[in-house]
Structure 1
Amino acid sequence: MGNRTLYLHVGQGKTGTSFIQATLAHAAQALDEAGIHYPDLRPAHRRARQDRRHWGTNGGNGVEFARADVDDVVPEGTGRILVSWEGFYRALAVDAGVEMRPDVRLGAARFQAITDRLRRFCARNDVGRVEIILFLRNPVGQRVARYLQSVKGQGATRDIEAAFAEAPDLSEELALLTRPIDLPDPHLHVFNYDVHKADLMAPIAGVLGVGREIFAGDAGRQVNRSLSSAEVEMALAWNESLGQTAAPLTVALCDEVPATGQARLAPSRAAQEGLMARLAGQVEQVNACLPEGERLWADYVEPPGDGEEVTVTRAYLRGLGRVVGQFNARQGVELQAFRTQNALLQLRCALLEKQAGQAGPLLEAARSEMRALAAMPGGEDKAADLAPHLERLAGAMGR
């Protein structure tokens, strides 16, 4: 059996995961000094192109397991490793035999591959014990949060009443709580998000065996806040017009525009009670596996009234104007990148068909499109990615 301990924070989603990951990234050096290694697992080429903030707030360090084997070997003398990614939650549930719901975009084979990579990582790094940190959430709040995420990141246009009528069951939660977990000497620590949401890092510090003060200080910028009920109406309108391409706009709203204190979104009381009635048996089974202080309960929320008045600050309007402007600018960059790619494709076709007379003007057209792309704010990286293709084509022409 290995000598190292892996602490695995697995979510689930919508339990403050983005905040937790930003805090862990901010505290990486302090954790390392305490003997807990929170490694940056990105390949070298992506570390060079993404700043540390991106690593800390976009899936945690464990998101690399979704892409390929993680070949990193933890330095000698490091006895404890910490990895965080909410995708492990569903991967472990699939590994325990849960069938995938039809609304999950990744198939079961993809999640099974993630768990296989995790086992190989454990073997490669001499891990003999895995401490799994899992946050669950009360059913009503969890369903509201999942609905908000579908509006924010998936282009959803249905209302929240319909979302509650189709709410999933608790089979994934029950699988992790009741079935064997195929990792080295696994130990599961389960916390109710609604019990700890005022201080999510305290139970994590307890599992890690460090003082809460290790996570003191600013964890970085605001990340992934919830939409208010009024903002949902605005986001639904964006989705109806733009579909899933509106996602970057809504995500930017939640990352960069300050919250306004508007009412929390909730469906009718009847929809909430209907959800709890459907889940009653499974909630009882889940609670039988939890300590008394971490058990789930019916977290009913008063829905906002139809005549809700919305008051926003000047800072909010400035922030909203900024993210809309940046979204429009990004769309312009994408359009110009497409025009540049199209010019390169026309040039390549002319060379393949040995149409020398057309190749010269097409080369100049491609260079012109490339210059226009490079001159746009945010277009420099895309131009740099396309530049080698232009150089190869020009080289083939001796120009």
Structure 2
Amino acid sequence: MAKTLYLHIGHGKTGTSYLQSVFACSASVLRAQGLDYPWNSSCDLAADAKITSGNGMFFERYLRANPEAGEPSLGSSDPDVRGTLFSSEWIFTFLIEAVSPPWTGSPWEDYWGEIGAEERVERLVRWAQAKGYDRIKVLLFIRNPISQILSGYQQSIKRAGDTRAIEGYTPRSLLPPRVLACLNLFDRWPCIETDVVNYSVVKDQLAVIAASWLEIPVHKLMHPPAAIVNRSMTHGELEFQRWLNVSLGPSGELVSDPLCQELPHVRAQVIVPSRGAQDSLWEQIRESVEQVNRRIDPQHRYEYDPIESPPPGEEYSFSRDQIRVIATSLGKTILDLRERIGACSPEHYRQLQAQCTDLQKQCVDLDEHCGRLHEALQELQVRHESLVADQGEKNTRIKSLKEELRTLSKALRYRDAELAKRKARPTFLSKLFGGQHWKRRWARWRRAGVPTPPKG
């Protein structure tokens, strides 16, 4: 039986969390259809329609190992299993941008830091072939750029601890150029089949698209408890989380995660930058968008989707349920901190205070040390600039000397040539006594016994 490795790679903000919930709820159904969906703790959350990262951890672990080193076969040796499914938007960034896995820790970050995107895709192909997979099917969702950027802004507030207002937000990297890089990498391997689908066109048919891609009847898939997973937020929710990030750093688990998970049906609100900012973003990606559009189904091509929306006012509203969820989450965190502090004995508390004092002193010392290092660095920079200037003068002098050497060498060669010519030129005596006539006369005189030629 031909076996297929199925990779649903996102990218971000294209219904990935919803589809992962569908896959987790349908794990037994997928197995009955001959598909293995490797299970991890993230799948438990996905089955409850919670925010997850999919099962990409397995994918990274298997690629890290030697394909012949005894890693699990993922069902490839089971005659009833025709394929294995991985779903994680992180796979897109892992393969295309060659980033390190967020969960592996520093040793594996160093490991993957030495391996570029092309080698990672090659390792994917070699691993799949070693495990008996005849083909690799990739499902890549894209999204019209402006709505994707706005959804990405919300995600950066919720999950990445961003504190910028929408007008000051610039994505870390724009997605159409990365999609183009993805297509270029995958197209080099005939065994990789890439399906590109525009989420903006099919966002209400994600399960249908996934079932068709997996080659199973759509009615076999089971839907999660909530129809919306990882929803966008309202103006008030987003602003509350943004200012919480300002005070605490990344803290989405306190407010945004509970709100999105417990109240999935709250209607999100659109927060957009000015039309000029949207036009500027579109101009930055226009060329890569056109290149991608030429390579995918016309139905799923990118379209410019500017959004007009009034800016949010100065007042925000919260429903009773929103207030309940926020208060419950913050209250639970505060109680937990109180219990931890209350569990400390006075002696332990004093030790902690002493440790904090020592840490503060160390921070002060480190600041001073950093200041000294900064001054030393500035001095080194000045010295470096001076050395560069001196080296420039030396290079100029060396160039001049080389030019003089070339001139002298040319003169010496000319003189040697003239001397050689003079040596080769016949003298008066050689002309007088070196002719053929005198040679013949001398020969006759020697035969006649004449010792020397006569004078005169």
TM-score, structure 1 as length reference: 0.71
Distance 1:166 1:60, change over 3 A: closer
Instruction: Give the Cα–Cα distance (whole angstroms) in 2 for the partners of residues 80 and 18 of structure 1.
Output: 21
Q: 1:89 aligns with which of 92, 98, 111?
A: 92
SS state at 2:10 partner = coil
Q: Give the superposition deviation at 1:297.
A: 0.7
Amino acid of the structure 2 residue aligned with 1:64: F
Q: Give the superposition deviation at 1:306.
A: 3.5
Larger radius of gyration: 2
Q: 2:168 aligns with which of 162, 170, 183?
A: 162
- Per-residue displacement from partner, 1:56-105 (whole Å, max 9, x unpaired)? 7521122333467473323312111111111111222146xx9xxxxxx9
Contact 1:228 1:262 in 2 (8 A): yes
Describe how 1:1-399 pairs up with structure 2 within 5 A. 3-40=2-39, 42=40, 52-53=44-45, 57-66=51-60, 69=64, 71-75=71-75, 76-77=78-79, 78-94=81-97, 108-109=113-114, 118-119=124-125, 121-164=127-170, 168=174, 170-180=176-186, 185-219=191-225, 223-307=229-313, 310-332=316-338
SS state at 1:6 partner = strand
Contact 1:164 1:272 in 2 (8 A): no
Q: Give the superposition deviation at 1:52.
A: 2.4
Contact 1:11 1:89 in 2 (8 A): yes
Contact 1:91 1:115 in 2 (8 A): no
Instruction: Give the Cα–Cα distance (whole angstroms) in 2 for the partners of residues 21 and 93 of structure 1.
Output: 21
Distance 1:199 1:34, change over 3 A: same
Q: Give the superposition deviation at 1:136.
A: 0.6
Contact 2:5 2:83 in 1 (8 A): yes
Judge which range, 321-330 or 189-198, deviates more: 321-330
Contact 2:25 2:47 in 1 (8 A): no
Contact 1:19 1:223 in 2 (8 A): yes
Q: Give the superposition deviation at 1:119.
A: 4.7
Distance 1:192 1:333, change over 3 A: farther
Instruction: Give the Cα–Cα distance (whole angstroms) in 1 for the partners of residues 16 and 332 of structure 2.
Output: 26
Contact 2:154 2:233 in 1 (8 A): yes
Instruction: Give the Cα–Cα distance (whole angstroms) in 1 for the partners of residues 95 and 145 of structure 2.
Output: 21
Judge which range, 195-204 or 113-122, deviates more: 113-122
Amino acid of the structure 1 residue aligned with 2:52: N
Instruction: Give the Cα–Cα distance (whole angstroms) in 2 for the partners of residues 73 and 224 of structure 1.
Output: 32
Unmatched tracts of structure 1, length 5 or more: 99-104, 347-399
Instruction: Give the Cα–Cα distance (whole angstroms) in 2 for the partners of residues 335 and 109 of structure 1.
Output: 44
Instruction: Give the Cα–Cα distance (whole angstroms) in 2 for the partners of residues 55 and 114 of structure 1.
Output: 30
Judge which range, 311-320 or 177-186, deviates more: 177-186
- Per-residue displacement from partner, 1:256-300 (whole Å, max 9, x unpaired)? 234432521211222112111222112111111111100011112
Partner of 2:399: none
Distance 1:175 1:109, change over 3 A: same
Distance 1:166 1:235, change over 3 A: same
Distance 1:109 1:194, change over 3 A: farther
- Per-residue displacement from partner, 1:166-204 (whole Å, max 9, x unpaired)? 763632111112334576710000000101111211111
SS state at 2:38 partner = coil
Amino acid of the structure 2 residue aligned with 1:72: P
Instruction: Give the Cα–Cα distance (whole angstroms) in 1 for the partners of residues 220 and 43 of structure 2.
Output: 23
Q: Give the superposition deviation at 1:33.
A: 1.1
Unmatched tracts of structure 2, length 5 or more: 66-70, 100-105, 352-456
Instruction: Give the Cα–Cα distance (whole angstroms) in 1 for the partners of residues 299 and 309 of structure 2.
Output: 27
Partner of 1:362: none
Instruction: Give the Cα–Cα distance (whole angstroms) in 2 for the partners of residues 336 and 174 of structure 1.
Output: 55
Contact 1:10 1:85 in 2 (8 A): yes
Q: Give the superposition deviation at 1:229.
A: 2.4
TM-score, structure 2 as length reference: 0.63
Contact 1:61 1:85 in 2 (8 A): yes
SS state at 1:218 partner = coil
Q: Give the superposition deviation at 1:302.
A: 2.0
Instruction: Give the Cα–Cα distance (whole angstroms) in 2 for the partners of residues 152 and 275 of structure 1.
Output: 22
Contact 1:170 1:282 in 2 (8 A): yes
Contact 1:10 1:132 in 2 (8 A): yes
Q: Give the superposition deviation at 1:215.
A: 2.1
Contact 2:233 2:269 in 1 (8 A): no
Q: CA RMSD in A?
A: 3.5
Partner of 1:366: none
Amino acid of the structure 1 residue aligned with 2:90: G
Contact 1:155 1:244 in 2 (8 A): yes
- Per-residue displacement from partner, 1:292-334 (whole Å, max 9, x unpaired)? 1000111122233343765543223222222222333454567
Q: Give the superposition deviation at 1:135.
A: 0.2
SS state at 2:210 partner = helix
SS state at 1:14 partner = coil
Distance 1:63 1:114, change over 3 A: farther
Percent identity between the two aligned chains: 30
Give the paired residue count. 328
Instruction: Give the Cα–Cα distance (whole angstroms) in 2 for the partners of residues 67 and 252 of structure 1.
Output: 30
Q: Give the superposition deviation at 1:216.
A: 3.9
